Amino acid sequence: MSEQTRQLPEVRVGSSPDALMPISVAEKQLGAGLWQWLSFALVVVSAFGADQLTKWLVTSRLALGSSVSIAGPLQISHVQNSGIAFGFFSQATSLVIVLTTAVVLWMVFFFAHSGARHPLLPAALGLVVGGSVSNLFDRVVHGYVTDFIDFGFFPSFNLADSFIVLGVATLVFFLIAPDRYLPRSGDSRQAPGR
């Protein structure tokens, strides 16, 4: 048989709906779809609203610098923080506003392109963005952030800070850690000594 008359068989990994176009790569859209955007927005608005409500309750019912004991070391203390976590950059509010805005915009851009990567990404990133936007709002409007959760041995913080930490921890756990715990095909069925 000559090379011209001999044809290699066509190997298809998959096919398009009309079964005429071979598909060799499984494609999965990672960008955020409608449901991811709705979930993300709901978490952002809820985090923002809860943080602003608790700050309003503290500022309207507790004088600046005063505290109320709740249980054990937990106190509600009315504190104003012009910096970021632990009081860093307390004299650079404008810089903090610019950096926070840039980070929030980057997170929204990342979500737009990766929102479907993991089912918990809308909630985790929504907590981070909601908390960041709430603290950013306070810095722009008041020039400081109201902190009120006080354990005495740790710098005071607010719900927005808690949302940010929880969101980042969830991102780290669900986007990085699971790779170590996913079962490998055939690992559990391998006989000892093979």
Give 117-132 pLDDT, tens digit per residue: 778 889 999 999 999 9
Is position 62 within any domain?
A: yes
Is position 158 within any domain?
A: yes
pLDDT in tens, 162-191: 999 999 999 888 767 655 544 455 544 444
147 is catalytic: yes
**Averaged pLDDT score across all residues of the chain:** 79
According to the model, what pLDDT value does residue 10 have?
Answer: 57
Domain containing 57 equals 39-177
- Count the domains in the chain: 1
Q: Which residue has the higher pLDDT, 109 or 88?
A: 109
Is position 24 within any domain?
A: no
Is position 185 within any domain?
A: no
SS3 track for 90-133: CCCHHHHHHHHHHHHHHHHHHHHHHCCCCCCHHHHHHHHHHHHH
Q: Which of 18, 147, 150, 187 is catalytic?
A: 147
pLDDT in tens, 128-146: 999 999 999 998 898 889 9
Is position 49 within any domain?
A: yes
Q: pLDDT band at residue 194, thresholds of 50, 70 and 90?
A: very low
CB-count exposure of residue 132 (10 Å: 0-12, 13-18, 19+): buried
Q: What region does 151 belong to: left with phi over 0, alpha with psi -120 to 50, or beta? A: alpha
Q: Which of 138, 161, 179, 187 is catalytic?
A: 161
Separation of alpha carbons 32 and 35, rounded Å: 8
According to the model, what pLDDT value does residue 95 have?
Answer: 80
Is position 28 within any domain?
A: no
Is position 69 within any domain?
A: yes
Is position 67 within any domain?
A: yes
